[in-house]
Structure 1
């Protein structure tokens, strides 16, 4: 068989397109849910890391260090395959979203911490002189400034998270790569994997360009 017939077989691609589309929808839903949960959790962990009592700060530091050190695949395996031995059984969706969210939260927490610490301490003092309490100062003064700083690295983490959804096949999630692998086995042809790669490119290339645009805009703002 020629290269085109082996890797770019149009008939095989058309036949497997419904399965790939199902995988795309699953991948998008999984990615969006994990990004939302992980980003919100990461913000909460960063605030605990910065402002909570010392024991809670230490716990947040341990959480961040552990989940930044563990490979995503290991986290998914522990949640889906190890937890049942202690009586905790989670379905594929819950396991995947929980695993992705916990890892993303660890990275997001460090990004948010750096953004918050970049806001001058004088902002707190100025807000206190106006009679704003601590939580109001965070919500109205500090976080809006920090968010502008963390947008580029946060968006980059989101791109990485979308790529990592391909690991969800280890917990039997029918995401894009899993559907492509099943289609490859069924048709004895690697074209579905090429199709999946092209779909990932279409999904993620705009996000990669967005990250570059945001980073460039942040550099221009800092240079002013």
Structure 2
């Protein structure tokens, strides 16, 4: 094992480039997943005839598919019908599709956790259903969702490593390139990327725990 050679300034800089790509893909995916998942989860909660049933079918189908399959489909299958996205966009779309379905279920569960009597009370005070949902139910539900949402975002960050199969230049992809230079670098580089993932996810998990404590 060659820790000194593996941790040279050039190698560390190269790894940070990959880590930057990991964070960029994760942040964009988190934002889009939260927006789309929030909309889908709200539709599921409101049980709008026909529309909610379609959303349920889509969400449940995607939730039961492997993320790796979705990544490969967006990168390899879509070009066959003339849609060429590139590895970065393909990875983001695959992550958003998959994570949105997970977040939709979190949102639906959070909304369901708010007592139904509050909607009835709001309606009796003159608010419309949408006004009651926006001003009374959503704020309460969001507080209860936060720990689960943060946990899901942690999973999303880790899931970006699956995009290595489509050569996305993220952290694990760059680590593999460095390891290919010298077999003595394999263990040191694996230890380093494990520490990087651990550090970021541990901080996020602490945030989730603190937010969860605030709800009790």
Of the structure 1 ranges 122-131 and 24-33, higher mean CA displacement relative to structure 2 is found in 122-131
Q: Which residue of 2 aligns with 1:11?
A: 5
RMSD: 1.5
TM-score, normalising length from structure 1?
A: 0.90
Partner of 2:81: 86
2:92 is the alignment partner of 1:97:
yes
User: Distance between the aligned counterparts of 1:53 and 1:138, measured in 2?
Assistant: 14
TM-score scaled by length of structure 2: 0.93
- Stretches of 4+ moved more than 4 A in 1? none
Map 1:48-197 → 2, pairs under 5 A? 48-51=43-46, 53-188=48-183, 189-190=185-186, 191-197=188-194
Counterpart secondary structure, 1:70: coil
Provide the C-alpha distance between the structure 2 equivalents of 1:137 and 1:99, rounded to a whole number of angstroms: 34
Question: In the TM superposition, what is the alpha-carbon distance from 1:186 to its structure 2 partner?
Answer: 2.1
More off after superposition, 69-78 vs 131-140: 131-140
Q: Which residue number in structure 2 is paired with residue 209 of structure 1?
A: 206
Aligned pair count?
Answer: 213
Q: Match for residue 197 of structure 2?
A: 200
| Stretches of structure 1 lacking an aligned partner (at least 5 in a row) | 1-5
Quote how far apart the aligned CAs of 1:150 are: 0.7
